[in-house]
């Protein structure tokens, strides 16, 4: 079957499924493979549950005329998404970066949806499967698609860019994330910059943080760059007011308040404002969009419970985001501050050094109480409270509950530190 014919079939069955537990009537089932599963084996099950067709790549499983055999299911899904994107009138904005991708994507969507019919990456489905699924969610009347791209090694953003073919792009920042896969900070910069490389090679527009020296250097004299800055008047100026605890900013004399905690979220807001301005969204609508956006999924959420004001930022962590969170927490006004931080993953050979640096910073900032959780933090040389695992922390907190005040909880996803909420 040609891609043209497959796309025509897709337009008749606009829902894609890759999981037989989530089959909807009349959908197309793509039999993807993974380390521990083979979707081909569930093709018949998908049809029985209501799928219109099943796309497979193993001939032995072709037992129905509704089985469409291809060479490679994943490649076919990716090629279909690019074909669909090319046949859409929607403008595609791609974004990547070490920190803040998902929040920035949600803010951009909140702002642009005030004027346009938009679609955006759901959750953080930002990989070689998630990006195609996002592109395939572009509808006939979609005007702007916001596509988040994640990566943990070089050439991944280049690959995703060739699938999405973005018209615009933005990199949130370059931080110490996935150092193991990228081979260090320079590898992170090279890997994330693959989005810039793609956009410049195709003469496309780039949104940028003009206060970031790395972005300034990378883009140089590139003409089609659109930037925001807190100080350089040749770019769109946005003024930071405060983050105590919520980010407040000012643009063109208009004060904008948010429900986002941490100065690091200021730049995420700036990106959304810049794009709103570029696409002619009225400033009052931008203000409303920022004010109404509420972070979810353990990302900088403020939770009040039993006399505690808890900043739950337990979705993920790396040395850059951890340092920013600690410094922001230190600057907040509160009588009693408790810090609970968990291990940062995927740091490779730098893990010991980076965890020691964060432990030293935590001690230097002099919070009222500090708890370090996880194997890496347990190995640090410090007099701070250290717990080898969450279970050991749990035993401690059950015997000695947290004192009332403000609490910051942050750690990598694998630490699941949101479990602390059950203990207070």
Q: What is the CATH number of the domain that holds 38?
A: 3.40.1390.10
Name the domain boundary from 232, 266, 292.
292
Q: Do 167 and 276 lie in a common domain?
A: yes
Say if residues 423 and 381 touch (Cβ distance below 8 Å).
Answer: no
pLDDT, tens digit only, all 424 positions of the chain: 899 999 999 999 989 999 989 999 999 999 999 888 899 999 999 999 999 999 999 999 999 899 999 999 999 999 999 999 999 999 999 999 988 899 999 999 999 999 999 999 998 789 999 999 999 999 999 999 999 999 877 899 999 999 999 999 999 988 766 666 677 778 788 888 999 999 999 999 999 999 999 999 999 899 999 999 999 999 999 999 998 889 999 999 999 999 998 888 999 999 999 999 999 999 999 999 999 999 877 777 889 998 899 999 888 888 988 998 999 899 888 889 999 999 999 898 999 999 999 999 999 998 999 999 999 999 999 999 999 999 999 999 999 999 899 999 999 999 999 999 999 8
Q: Do 135 and 204 lie in a common domain?
A: yes
Tokens of 78: 């990716």
Tokens of 332: 């907040």
Beta strand spans in 15-116 (E): 16-17, 28-30, 33-34, 37-38, 53-56, 67-69, 91-96
Q: Which residues pair with 68 in a beta bridge?
A: 55
Q: Do 198 and 330 lie in a common domain?
A: no
Q: Do 141 and 114 lie in a common domain?
A: yes
Q: Is residue 242, in this structure, part of any structural domain at all? A: yes
Neighbouring CB atoms inside 10 A of 302's CB total 17
What pLDDT does residue 334 have? 87
Q: d(Cα 83, Cα 81) in Å, to the nearest integer? A: 5
What pLDDT does residue 153 have? 77
Q: Is residue 252, in this structure, part of any structural domain at all? A: yes
What pLDDT does residue 332 have? 87
Q: Is residue 212, in this structure, part of any structural domain at all? A: yes
* CA angle at 341 for the pair 338 and 343, rounded to the nearest 5°: 170
Residue 349 sits in a domain whose CATH number is 3.90.190.20
The domain tally of the chain equals 3
Residue 73 is classified by DSSP as: H
Domain hosting 171: range is: 88-292
Say how far residue 81 (Cα) sits from the centre of its chain: 21
What pLDDT does residue 177 have? 64
Q: Do 386 and 256 lie in a common domain?
A: no
| Crossing angle for the helix pair 283-292 and 264-278, to the nearest 10 degrees | 140
Q: Do 344 and 249 lie in a common domain?
A: no
Helices within 87-222 (DSSP H only): 101-112, 130-135, 156-164, 179-182, 185-192, 194-201, 213-219
What are the φ and ψ backbone dihedral angles of 408, each rounded to 5 degrees? Answer: -110, 125
Using DSSP bridges, classify how beta strands 369-373 and 308-313 pair: parallel, antiparallel or unpaired. unpaired
Q: Is residue 78, in this structure, part of any structural domain at all? A: no
* CA dihedral of 11, 16, 20, 25, whole degrees rounded to 10: -40
Nearest to 363 by CA among 341, 384, 389: 384
Q: Do 337 and 359 lie in a common domain?
A: yes
Q: Is residue 338, in this structure, part of any structural domain at all? A: yes
Tens digits of per-residue pLDDT, 14-39?
899 999 899 999 999 999 998 888 99
On the 0-12 / 13-18 / 19+ scale of CB atoms within 10 A, 398 is: exposed
Q: Do 97 and 241 lie in a common domain?
A: yes
Tokens of 116: 């346009």
Say if residues 39 and 31 touch (Cβ distance below 8 Å).
Answer: yes
* CA angle at 59 for the pair 57 and 65, rounded to the nearest 5°: 95
């Amino acid at each position: 079957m040609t891609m043209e014919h497959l796309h025509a079939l897709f337009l008749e069955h606009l829902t894609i499924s890759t999981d037989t537990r989530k089959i909807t009537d009349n959908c197309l089932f793509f039999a993807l493979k993974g380390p521990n599963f083979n979707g081909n084996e569930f093709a018949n099950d998908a049809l029985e549950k209501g799928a219109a067709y099943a796309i497979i790549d193993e001939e032995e499983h072709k037992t129905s005329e509704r089985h469409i055999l291809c060479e490679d299911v994943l490649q076919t899904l990716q090629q279909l998404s690019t074909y669909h994107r090319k046949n859409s009138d929607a403008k595609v904005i791609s974004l990547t970066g070490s920190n803040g991708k998902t929040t920035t994507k949600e803010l951009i969507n909140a702002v642009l949806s005030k004027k346009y019919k938009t679609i955006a990456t759901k959750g953080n489905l930002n990989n070689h499967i998630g990006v195609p699924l996002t592109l395939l969610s572009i509808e006939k009347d979609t005007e702007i698609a916001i596509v988040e791209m994640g990566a943990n090694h070089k050439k991944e953003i280049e690959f995703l860019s060739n699938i999405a073919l973005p018209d615009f792009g933005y990199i949130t920042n370059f931080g110490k994330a996935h150092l193991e896969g990228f081979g260090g900070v320079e590898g992170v910069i090279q890997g994330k910059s693959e989005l810039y490389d793609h956009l410049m090679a195709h003469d496309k527009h780039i949104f940028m943080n003009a206060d970031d020296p790395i972005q300034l250097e990378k883009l140089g004299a590139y003409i089609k760059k659109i930037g925001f800055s807190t100080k350089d008047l040749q770019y769109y100026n946005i003024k930071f007011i405060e983050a105590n605890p919520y980010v407040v900013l000012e643009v063109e004399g208009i004060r904008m308040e948010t429900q986002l905690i941490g100065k690091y979220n200021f730049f995420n807001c700036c990106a959304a404002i810049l794009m709103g301005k570029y696409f002619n969204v009225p400033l009052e609508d931008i203000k409303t969009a920022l004010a109404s956006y509420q972070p979810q999924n353990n990302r900088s959420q403020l939770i009040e419970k039993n006399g505690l004001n808890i900043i739950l930022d337990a979705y993920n962590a790396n040395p850059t985001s951890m340092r920013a969170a600690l410094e922001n927490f230190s600057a907040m006004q509160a009588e009693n501050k408790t810090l609970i931080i968990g291990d940062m993953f995927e740091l490779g050979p730098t893990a010991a050094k980076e965890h020691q640096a964060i432990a030293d910073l935590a001690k230097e900032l002099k919070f009222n109480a500090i708890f370090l959780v996880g194997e890496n933090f347990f190995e640090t040389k410090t007099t701070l409270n250290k717990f080898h695992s969450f279970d050991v922390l749990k035993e401690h907190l059950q015997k000695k509950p947290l004192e009332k005040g403000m609490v910051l909880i942050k750690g990598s996803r694998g630490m699941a530190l949101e479990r602390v909420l059950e203990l207070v």
